[in-house]
Structure 1
């Protein structure tokens, strides 16, 4: 049975919701407490047993790759000054088991297109994760459950695609992709019947919103190869997932146990910094 070892992280977006912060700095490099957003996400992948990261990037985003690269001059300077704690912190950014590969998305044609840009870096029939870096997923206070890791375990035991969801208030469902399924308990999965993008509250099949974590089979790449544009005239990942279900393949909604912070907009980014900094012991 093929294990999930690779995660595709699309980082080619302009980050318009974070302007002007993201005008010259990739939004993925904006700090959340003591490290950039992208590092939080890569650490999440490592905690889930995923050690091969594929960044789908574009021109002007090289700072993300540089962050995970060695900086010999800096390391030598810290070593000479005996700053061992800082050296250890740098070494933890990219542990030996982590590999980072980048591929360019020349044109912004939607999430499905971004994911497909990495197809050639996967072996035939190799499952993979997709992680959207705008959203941080953190355990509850005092907990250590890795929701993405639990999704990987569910894939290994069932071979069913997994899509992470969380419950949102009924009057906010119009803002999200909402799955149609029987509501699972936290930490469990339920078979999906479909997904509706931004439904009216009275027409929503549930209150479970998709939050940017997927574990998918290689078959998705084959479907994305000829996926026609959908909403916004873009190639949508959810459209390919719908086609997968139409083929009779099982797709499950995994209900997360942790917390989410939407760092793609200023309010959510500030909330993440305030909450996580206090939990880390900073006096703010």
Structure 2
């Protein structure tokens, strides 16, 4: 059973500059909700109530968002605006939020390893909040947990992208395992390959289910693309054993 969801939220958000110069990218709003709230709601829908967040300098707004603002509550109590806080109040009451800090930005793999102290020795979900995922049926994490329950190994979410954009993503190659083109046993993973060298156009998006052995694999993973510790490289080690 997946009980914890890790949110790596320490990065600088340079893809979103200048909006993220002073605002965490996870707090950028889509309509009236910040991205990270959508991610927490997706995790809660999947039955996860423990949210583990890896933060860094300048990310205090995330902690404040998932906390009670007594002054604001007092100001709008009894007014037409009070219902606007109903959703976030519900999340705060249903979920437990814990935080740890990534002191150096060394890549997504390193951020996930930093969260080990919050996760412990159990399988867990990972949500990258700047990938906003929607679904007409069950949420993405709910679907991934079904795959995990069936195969008991790490799971990554993928989407088809234009071949010329593979250099923006981690890209997988794999073989179908359930008689459809919905689930693949991963055979190869490449971080941001040149379009001419990409094995497929199936790109990893910001949703993962990881087994706890990933932490030791990351510890032994050398810096890769961009001099960062890439989760793609660590997952490739699991994939060699048919575990992704």
Equivalent residue number for residue 138 of structure 1? 134
Instruction: Give the Cα–Cα distance (whole angstroms) in 2 for the partners of residues 183 and 170 of structure 1.
Output: 20
Contact 1:79 1:87 in 2 (8 A): no
Partner of 1:278 in structure 2? none
Cα 1:87–1:67, aligned 2, differ >3 Å: closer, same or farther? closer
CA contact (8 A) 2:13 2:24 kept: yes
Aligned length: 242
| 2:4 matched residue in structure 1 | 6
Distance verdict in 2 for CA 1:132–1:89, change over 3 Å: closer
Does the 8 A contact of 1:78 with 1:87 survive in 2?
Answer: no
Mapped partners of 1:91, 1:128: distance in 2: 24
1:74-223 equivalences under 5 Å are 74-81=72-79, 84-92=82-90, 94-124=91-121, 126-139=122-135, 143-182=136-175, 185=180, 188-223=182-217
Question: Which structure 1 segments of 5+ residues have no match?
Answer: 252-284
Distance of 1:107 and 1:150 partners within structure 2: 33
The Cα shift of 1:183 comes to: 5.4
Given that 1:182 and 1:190 are in contact with CA atoms closer than 8 Å, whether structure 2 keeps it comes out as yes
Query: Are the equivalent residues in 2 in contact too, given 1:181–1:206 (CA < 8 A)?
Result: no
Q: How far off is 1:249 after superposition?
A: 4.3
Q: Is 1:63 the counterpart of 2:61 in the alignment? A: yes
Superposed CA RMSD: 1.9
Assess if the C-alpha contact under 8 Å between 1:40 and 1:136 holds in 2.
Answer: yes
- Asked if residue 72 in structure 1 is aligned to residue 66 in structure 2, the reply is no
Normalized against structure 2, the TM-score is what? 0.91
SS in 2 for 1:145: coil
Return closer, same or farther for 1:106/1:157 CA change in 2, 3 Å cut-off: same
The alignment's TM-score, normalised by the length of structure 1, stands at: 0.79
- Long gaps (5+) in structure 2: none
**Which segment drifts farther, 233-242 or 222-231?**
222-231
Q: CA deviation at 1:225?
A: 2.1
